[in-house]
A and B are shown apart, each in its own frame.
Chain A
Amino acid sequence: MKKLLSLALGILTAIGGFVDIGDLVTNAVVGSRFGLTLVWVTVLGVVGIALYANMAGRVAAVSGRATFEIIRERLGARAGLANLAASFLINLMTMTAEIGGVALVFQLVTGISPMLWIPLAGFGVWVVVWRAKFTALENATGLLGLGLMVFVVAVFLLKPDWGQLGPQLIPRIPATEDGTTYWYYAIALFGAAMTPYEVFFFSSGGVEEKWTVKSLGEVKANVLVGFPLGGLLSISIAACAAIVLLPQAISVTSLSQVVIPVIQAGGTIAFAFAVVGMAAAVFGAALETTLSSGYTIAQYFGWSWGKFRRPAEAARFHLVMLIGVIIAVLVLLTGVDPIAVTEFSVVFSAIALPLTYIPILIVSNDKQYMGEFRNGRLTNALSLVFLAIILVASIAAIPLMVITGAGQ
């Protein structure tokens, strides 16, 4: 019974780890402009993240080494440091988007300007990272994040014309949009689904929870159930936008448009579920990105890290996170639009994907690290296909961003 519970909780965390402000915003934007014609990208992203997160989790369970230790080990000090600089900055950008997202959710409920919520959100994130137990913070945000299920329910309550909605699933470029814009958003969605922090967090979390070879089944279950459920939530958010916002040509510029379909479907109660779910998912992602900022730097330099230690026993790790939160709050206080930060963060995540995923693929094939648990042929074949996709997305991202004016 206890084992079942921990399995269920692990799956919940995987759902929470998947859906963040990037997925909320990008899916709503895409649904309101492209209908369901980009759903295939989310499906592709879910397969990709499940494949690589499982690999990173397996490496952590078998070798006890988390992702950034491996990146340095295999790339060496120089290339590892370049990778660290890029990964840390992009993670900081995601972290800024998540903390801003928390402020936006509170604005949605209270109507009070996010400027007042930003310092509070930053402080809240820091206090939880400073004091709360790893499992407690994971489970609470995972459980409350289930409120997002209301988006799935809303799709049905809205009674869409299925005969008209179904054919949208076939990938094609809508007549109202440019081909380049379509592909720009395809890359944004892919970046939102495969955001590197998910892997930093998943593998470091494995070390936090002291996974061993015996945990491999649990790792697989978390990944194979949790991430697809997260993908389902993402697709529902896009579907809600496609059903309600697209026909009325409402564009998504803030979270208030994201929840319009939910309110239309289920009124105040549905709105309450959506808000709790969004707050938990985004706050959870803010915690995960904050922890990831500490994980990446500490693992590169070989410092002591981890929530299972007292802050004083992982002093530099906690100092990095504290500085990271302060930077994120200061950036947000300049008045930059958190939605804009989010939109850029998912595209930059897409650019950075190879930096994280290539070293994981190399190490999970390493006999000395992995012994009998190294990748099988099927996993390697699939991983290579995804590596090709990741490289294409990474290379095409900046040219498409320039050509489309960031998707305008």
Chain B
Amino acid sequence: MTDRKSMRAGRVVDAEFQLIDRQVIDSEGMPVVAVDDLEVSDVPWNTDLPPGTEAPIVENLLSGPVLGTRIFGGRPPESRWQRIAWKHVVDIGTALTLDAPAKEFDAGWTERWVRDHVVGKIPGGRHDPE
């Protein structure tokens, strides 16, 4: 439950409308991913819930292969999940802002791979535009 502290008390957010498919920005203003899906905590399924059961909470932002399964159906294998824990989200505006730079999250690995193996190796790739 400590994960929920980062949410401002009393603000109601529509997950479908305000979280999913929104841009995620790191603490330095750099785009990281778009929210491809959300992971919410388990609720017993297909049974009557006793009164007082905790409502499910958003645990992680998901990105990467999960986008393909959201569009075409199915579920990615456990090893292919890219998660950003909800506690890192510090602001919900026209983008979601995280509390750390992109390099701290697995979700940025394709960007780093392309930078290290392709773009960074082309002359001028690491210089400011002139």
The answer to whether A206 has its CB under 8 Å from any CB of chain B is no
Contacts of A69 in B (CB 8 A): 23, 34
The answer to whether A367 has its CB under 8 Å from any CB of chain B is no
Is A77 a contact of B36 with CB atoms below 8 Å? Answer: yes
Contacts of A80 in B (CB 8 A): 21
Majority SS of interface residues in chain A? helix
Is A304 a contact of B31 with CB atoms below 8 Å? Answer: yes
> What total count of A-B pairs have CB within 8 Å?
97
How many angstroms between the C-alpha atoms of A294 and B90 in the bound complex?
A: 28
Is A301 a contact of B33 with CB atoms below 8 Å? Answer: yes
**Min C-beta distance of B32 to chain A, whole Å:** 7
Contacts of B124 in A (CB 8 A): 130-131, 311
The answer to whether A374 has its CB under 8 Å from any CB of chain B is no
Contacts of B55 in A (CB 8 A): none
**Count the A residues whose beta carbon is within 8 Å of the partner chain — how many?**
37
**Count the B residues whose beta carbon is within 8 Å of the partner chain — how many?**
36
- CB neighbors of A among B57-82 (8 A): 63, 67, 70-71
Known: A64-B95, A131-B129, A305-B31. A311 touches B21 (CB 8 A): no
The answer to whether A369 has its CB under 8 Å from any CB of chain B is yes
Contacts of B128 in A (CB 8 A): 310
The answer to whether B126 has its CB under 8 Å from any CB of chain A is yes
Contacts of B35 in A (CB 8 A): 302
- CB neighbors of B among A272-306 (8 A): 298-305
Contact among B23, B30, B110 with A65 in the assembled complex (CB-CB below 8 Å): B23
Is A72 a contact of B115 with CB atoms below 8 Å? Answer: no
Is B119 a contact of A303 with CB atoms below 8 Å? Answer: no
**Min C-beta distance of B95 to chain A, whole Å:** 7
Is A310 a contact of B94 with CB atoms below 8 Å? Answer: no
Contacts of B125 in A (CB 8 A): 130, 310-312, 318
**Min C-beta distance of B89 to chain A, whole Å:** 14
Is A315 a contact of B31 with CB atoms below 8 Å? Answer: no
How many angstroms between the C-alpha atoms of A312 and B30 in the bound complex?
A: 13
**Min C-beta distance of B17 to chain A, whole Å:** 9
Contact among B21, B24, B120, B127 with A77 in the assembled complex (CB-CB below 8 Å): B21
Is B130 a contact of A133 with CB atoms below 8 Å? Answer: yes
Interface residues of A, Cβ cutoff 8 Å to B:
63-65, 69, 72-73, 76-78, 80-81, 130-134, 136, 298-305, 307-308, 310-313, 315-316, 318-319, 368-369
Q: List 19 A-B contacts (CB under 8 A).
A: A64-B94, A72-B34, A81-B71, A130-B124, A131-B124, A131-B127, A132-B129, A132-B130, A300-B34, A301-B33, A304-B102, A305-B31, A310-B128, A311-B125, A312-B126, A315-B112, A318-B125, A319-B118, A369-B94
Interface residues of B, Cβ cutoff 8 Å to A:
18, 20-24, 30-36, 63, 67, 70-71, 94-95, 102, 110-112, 114-115, 118-120, 122, 124-130
